[in-house]
């Protein structure tokens, strides 16, 4: 009788531990597209061409993305421009998951990019993440 109880307790504990063990199939962090972003919104872009000594046109991009857990880092990485005039630019949103265990709660995260640009006008900006296009910004005003 005592052996049967210990065996049942051991089997129950093993099942409980197996349920807690990390399982690649069960992870919900990144959809099949390779991008951890659930939704994105409020994207805008503009070129600041304010005059002044040593002033250079600066491209600004900002938006917001929903990440699967707190602690993700996000950054926009500039990609190639097409050959049209004015050009279209491609950007890639890179995400890095936090180290260790975190709560599974969808968390909004601001995305900002600001760098000098050689372009006085930009036709459109396409932002991708993984295999999908998050947004195409077709209105890129120049602030002077």
The count of domains in the chain is: 1
Residue 22 lies in a domain: no
- Per the domain annotation, does 21 fall within a domain? no
d(CA 53, CA 32): 49
Residue 4 included in any domain = no
Residue with tokens 């040593």: 54
pLDDT-based confidence at residue 22 (cuts at 50, 70, 90): very low
Confidence of residue 3 (pLDDT cuts 50, 70, 90): low
Burial label for 135, CB within 10 Å (0-12, 13-18, 19+), is buried
Higher model confidence: residue 52 or residue 92? 92
Tell me: pLDDT of 51 over 90: no
Mean of pLDDT values over 51-76? 92
What pLDDT band is residue 31 in, cutting at 50, 70 and 90? very low
CB-based contact 27:67 (threshold 8 Å): no
pLDDT of residue 50: 83
At residue 16, the pLDDT reads 44
Alpha-carbon gap, residue 74 to 43, rounded angstroms:
15
> Nearest-5° angle of CA 64, CA 65, CA 68?
150
Report yes or no on 83 lying in a domain: yes
Mean pLDDT of 33-41: 88
Query: Strand 39-48 vs strand 73-81: parallel, antiparallel, or unpaired?
Result: unpaired
In-domain check, residue 23 = no
Q: What is the predicted pLDDT for the residue at 14?
A: 45
Residue 17 lies in a domain: no
| pLDDT above 80 (res 100) | yes
Structure pTM? 0.74
Q: E-strand spans in the chain?
A: 39-48, 58-67, 73-81, 88-96, 107-116, 124-129, 132-137, 142-143
Please report the pLDDT score of residue 21 as a whole number.
41
Confidence of residue 2 (pLDDT cuts 50, 70, 90): low
Give me the domain span that covers residue 96: 28-143
Indicate the range of 13-22, 52-61, 70-79 predicted with least confidence. 13-22
Is 55 part of a structural domain of the chain?
Answer: yes
């Amino acid at each position: 009788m005592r052996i049967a109880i210990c065996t049942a307790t051991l089997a129950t504990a093993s099942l409980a531990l197996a349920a807690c063990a990390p399982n690649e199939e069960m992870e919900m962090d990144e959809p099949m597209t390779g991008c951890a972003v659930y939704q994105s919104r409020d994207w805008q872009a503009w070129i600041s061409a304010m005059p002044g000594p040593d002033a250079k046109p600066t491209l600004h991009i900002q938006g917001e993305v929903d990440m699967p857990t707190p602690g993700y880092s996000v950054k926009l990485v500039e990609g190639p421009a097409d050959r049209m005039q004015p050009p279209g630019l491609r950007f890639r949103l890179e995400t890095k998951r936090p180290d260790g265990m975190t709560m599974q709660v969808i968390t909004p995260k601001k995305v900002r990019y600001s760098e000098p640009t050689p372009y006085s006008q930009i036709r459109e900006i396409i932002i991708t993440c993984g295999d999908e296009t998050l947004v195409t910004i077709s209105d890129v005003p120049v602030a002077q």
